[in-house]
Amino acid sequence: MQSITQTTVTVPVLWDQRQTADYLGVSPKWLERDRWLGAKIPYIKVGRGVRYRAADVVAFVESNSVEVA
């Protein structure tokens, strides 16, 4: 007899281009340009659409914060 085990998978929160742009305070065109120039923010292609992991966007903000002395 086989036993069935239950596993939990953490699914990342995905934002579309508009949600990401709103969070960052930039235009969607800025994000398009970022991808075209080499993607500072990691993104995921889902079909023809682009999605951003919320954790990656927050990490991008944290890594680009400037400490004022």
Say whether pLDDT at 69 is over 80.
Answer: no
DSSP state of 12: P
Around 29, how many Cα atoms within 13 Å sit in the side-chain half-sphere?
Answer: 0
The full set of domain ranges for the chain reads 14-63
Query: Both tokens of residue 42?
Result: 């990691």
Q: Which amino acid is it at 20?
A: T
pTM: 0.79
Predicted confidence (pLDDT) per residue in 25-66, tens digit: 999 999 999 999 998 999 999 999 999 999 999 999 999 888
Displacement of CA 60 from its chain's centroid (Å):
9
